Every structure is written in C-alpha cells, then in structure tokens.
Amino acid sequence: MHKTLYQLLLAIMLFGGACTPQNSTSPPPEIASASLASSDTQVRRAAVAGPFYPADADRLTRTVQGYLQQAEGEQISDDVIGLMAPHAGYEFCGAVAGYAYATIQGRSYDSVILIGPSHQGVPSTGAALSGKDAWETPLGRVAVDKELTKRLLAASDRFRINDFAHGPEHSLEVQLPFLQVVLDEFKIVPIVTADFSPQNSAAIAEAVASAVGDKKVLLVASTDMSHYPVQTEASRVDHAMLKVIAGFDPDEVYAADERLLGENVPNLHCTLCGLGPLVAVMKAAQKLGADRAHVLKYANSGDVEPALADRCVGYGAVVFVGKRPSVSSEPAAEASGEEDIELTQEQREWLLKLARGTIQQYVTSDKLTGIDTDDPAMHEQRAVFVTLTKQSRLRGCIGQIEAQMPLAEAIRDAAISAATRDPRFLPVTADELDKIHIEISVLSPLRQVDNASEIEVGKHGVLVRQGTRQGVFLPQVAPEQGWNREQMLTHLCAEKAGLPPDAWRKTATLYVFSCQVFGEEE
C-alpha cells in the first residue's frame, strides 16, 4: 500500500474529523426541522462500516467478542447507569471499548441514550435527535425509541430532530455493534451536539433525567481523550483527566479541561473531543442514581501503532454506577396525604442566600456556587421550584415536580435554570440582579386524587398527566390569578399540558402536592 494512502486510512480511523466541532454549513430548514411523522419508514444506514469497523457481519461479531473476552471485567454489583467509551477505529480503540461494554453483559435495558460530539459542528447550538425509525449496522437494525425522543423534545427546547447532523457522524455509530453483541433487546436515542457549553450540557442532562420516567436506560458518552500530543504527554494529560472523572464531579471536568489546556502542551488540541457529551452523561447519571465512577482501561494510539507516537489520541473506558431508584409508570404517591414540610427560618434564609449567590456567580462568571453544609435537611431528596420576579412580574420559574436530588443541590440547579434557561424569557443579566426577587417552593411528594373535589385551591399544587403530556401549577398560582378550582384545572390542561380544556373531567389523571413557600423580603 502506498505510504500516503496508508496514512490517510490511519487518519480516518484515528481521528474521523476535527477534535473541536467546527462551524459548517447549516442544513436546509426542512431537514433541520423534519418531524417524527415524516420519517416513519426511514432507516439510517451505516456510514462508517469498513473504515472504522468490519463491514462483514461475521467478522464484526468475532472482533467485538474478542475485545470483550480480552477485557478483565470488573465485578460490579450495583446498577451500571452510564459508560464512557471511545469512538475511533476499532483497530485503535476497540480493546478499550471492550472494557466498558463488558460491564453490561448479562444486563438488560429498555433504551440506550447515546450522546456524542458532532465532528462536523452540526447543530451549532443545542442537540440533535434522530427522526429515523431505526439505525443499521452489519449486525442488523436497532429501533429508535420514538416515545423517549418525543419526551426529550417536550422536556427542552434544546433538542431538535436533525438527521442531517447524524448522517455522516461516526461517534455514535461505532458504539452500536458493541451494544448489539452484549444486549438482547433494546432501543436507542441518538444525540449529537457541537455545543459543549456548561449550560447546554446541564440542560441536556436535566432533560434526559426528567424524560426517562419508567424506562430503564443506559447512558453512553462517546468520547476520545487527548488529541495529537506526543505519546508521553498524551498519557500524562489523559491520566490527569481520568483522575478527575473518577472523582465524579462533572463541573470539575470543565475546570480540569481548562487547566490542562492552559499548560500549553505542544499539539494538544483538546483533552476530550466529547467534553460536553461526557459532562451531560455524568450529570444525568447522577440524577438517575449513580454515585461512583470507575476507570476501567486506558490506552492511546501510540500503543497500537508506534509510528503514531508523535501524534497520539487517547482512549478511556469509564463506568458510572450506583443504585437506580425504583421506577413506576405513575408518580410516587403518599397514601395518607401530603407530607408536612417545615424548614426553620434559619434554613429558609440559608437556601435563599444559596439561590441568590448561585445566580449571581453563574450570571457574572459562568461558574457554579459550591455547597458546604452539614445540615441533614439540605441533603434530603426534595422537589423544588425557584421563581424569579422583577417589579412583581414573572422573570423565570423552573423546578422539578418529583424529587431527583438533595434539597440544596436542587435549589442551586433550579435557580440557575430559572435565571438562564426559562424558554419564555431572555437570560437574567448582571444589571438586573438587584431588581430580581427570589421565591422558593419546596414540594411534598405527589398524591393521586380520584375526584377533583379533593383539590383545595390555595393549599394544593396540581399536576395533570395524560400519556406523555403533563402540566403543573404551584399552589400560589390560582389565588394570584383569582381562579376557582374549575378555572384552575381548565387553564392547567389547556395552557400547561396542551390537553383539551376539559381533560381533567375525563381521561387525565390528577395529582396534588403541598408546598412550603418562602421568599426574600421585599
């Protein structure tokens, strides 16, 4: 083989595209906004079978099985909630990927949510979902989870159906043969993003965690590690980053990336080509019960091809484990009424200061406020809402209807979201901070009601749910609007849940909750 052709093939398998997503021509609007219904019979064909992995089914199966057998599988008794796996040509990274996927052999999942970088830089913001019915590899077709895709579209306006972004992209496709070998039946939700900002990663994670519902999912972050330094530096930088990932602090991964790039290592283009996807998976995994990260394997391209020792790419396998909370198709309910909520005045003041400090630091420096408290109440799982007003007019309101994280952390995240991610408003600016009033609502668990007459206006918040549609009003909404119970439920169905106005009388299910509501002094 001519030397130049050999080098070209190596480059394709090693790198597959730019390390950092680049700007590229946007797809035509009709492609970018394609609806789920418009692609019911479409299948995404394999785009990189051959260059990245064997195109022959038998050879591909033997190759993947060989990598899995080589892996010294770590015995993990807890739930495997997420993985970090590389996406280069199998010749270079397949053995490392085998360590990640060996941990899920014998397990079962309803769906696998794959999050990876777009090497073409499409989309430039947010994240792209697939509108195809299935994705195909030489091992067959894997169905796309349409229901979960719809939930994500409803959960956040960061998501769009954009198969233009998925067409030539390899970062997710190369994960599929491993999944097809180790899992029996599963569906996939492919997500690619070129927006690695902390805001986008956090929004993706929040949407994923909230959309999962009753499904048992596996999260997969597709990323290679350092790009292009000499082998010794690649190994040093990658092990430093893996140590941070093992600490399981997603925000520290961003800090480590900035710190390592700041060392000005020659030819170090990035520490993680899937930085944003990895952080999104780590954050979502934590919300779904993961509390530990295990580094399973590391290697780099110089280990496989010594001729590449002066221009290396690193590969790591990491697993995120913990105890997945029990899931149900219905929200958690209290059999004997709403749970009493009573935070002390000191606790309420502390939470308000946390919310304000979080917003101020995030708006002015794009960094998160640390949480330092030994108060057990701050570490209890709670559902919360943070409401911002300016001159008595709503400026942002975001929260969780069901508990997903400790109280203090939930307040911190909701405060950031209310200030910067409420799709109804522009983000809060530093100039506005002294004019913003903060109100916090701490919610009790949900309780299903069989009859709307059980709902007390002013006391109860209400959730209406039908299929994948739902809407919620906090207890203070109806009194502020002057609504009676019937008016409140009618507005809730029509305006918040997108249901027929009278759905609460017919097919929808109603849940109530109570709140402890407190705010800053005017």
Q: Please report whether residue 27 resides in a domain.
A: no
Indicate whether 497 and 370 sit together in one domain.
yes
- Give me the pLDDT at residue 522, please: 57
Place of tokens 């059999």: 335
With b meaning 16 or more CB within 10 Å and e meaning fewer, what string describes 333-371? Answer: eeeeebeeeebeeebbebbbebbbebbbebbeeeebbee
Opening angle at CA 159, ends 156 and 160, nearest 5: 135
Rounded-to-integer distance, Cα 93 and Cα 232, Å: 18
Indicate whether 264 and 349 sit together in one domain.
no
Q: Which of 257, 290, 322 is the last residue of a domain?
A: 322
Indicate whether 311 and 354 sit together in one domain.
no
Domain that holds residue 106: 3-14+38-222+229-322
Q: Please report whether residue 256 resides in a domain.
A: yes
Q: Please report whether residue 327 resides in a domain.
A: no
Q: Please report whether residue 401 resides in a domain.
A: yes
Q: Is 228 left (phi over 0), alpha (psi -120 to 50) or beta?
A: left
Indicate whether 454 and 422 sit together in one domain.
yes
Indicate whether 173 and 59 sit together in one domain.
yes
Indicate whether 376 and 301 sit together in one domain.
no
- Consecutive 10-residue averages of pLDDT for the chain (522 residues): 42 51 33 34 90 97 96 80 97 96 93 96 92 95 94 91 94 98 95 96 94 92 97 97 96 96 96 97 95 96 90 97 68 44 88 94 84 88 92 90 86 93 91 94 90 90 88 89 93 92 91 91 69
Indicate whether 185 and 95 sit together in one domain.
yes
Indicate whether 376 and 298 sit together in one domain.
no
- Give me the pLDDT at residue 175, please: 98
**Share of the chain residues as helix, strand and coil, in percent rounded to the nearest 5:** 40, 25, 40
What is the total count of domains within the chain?
2
Q: The domain that contains 368 carries what CATH number?
A: 3.30.700.20
Q: Please report whether residue 466 resides in a domain.
A: yes
- Give me the pLDDT at residue 61, please: 97
| Encoded tokens for 308 | 């590449």
Q: Please report whether residue 203 resides in a domain.
A: yes
Indicate whether 367 and 481 sit together in one domain.
yes
Give the model confidence (pLDDT) of 42-76 as tens digits: 899 999 999 999 999 999 999 999 999 999 766 78
Q: The domain that contains 177 carries what CATH number?
A: 3.40.830.10
Indicate whether 363 and 500 sit together in one domain.
yes
- Is residue 251 within 8 A of residue 198, CB to CB? The reply is yes
Indicate whether 482 and 355 sit together in one domain.
yes
Q: Please report whether residue 332 resides in a domain.
A: no
Q: Which of 322, 353, 371 is the last residue of a domain?
A: 322
Q: Please report whether residue 329 resides in a domain.
A: no
The sign one gets for the Cα dihedral 225, 156, 468, 149 is negative
- Is residue 85 within 8 A of residue 220, CB to CB? The reply is yes
Give the model confidence (pLDDT) of 132-144 as tens digits: 999 999 999 999 9
Q: Which of 288, 322, 356 is the last residue of a domain?
A: 322
Indicate whether 461 and 493 sit together in one domain.
yes
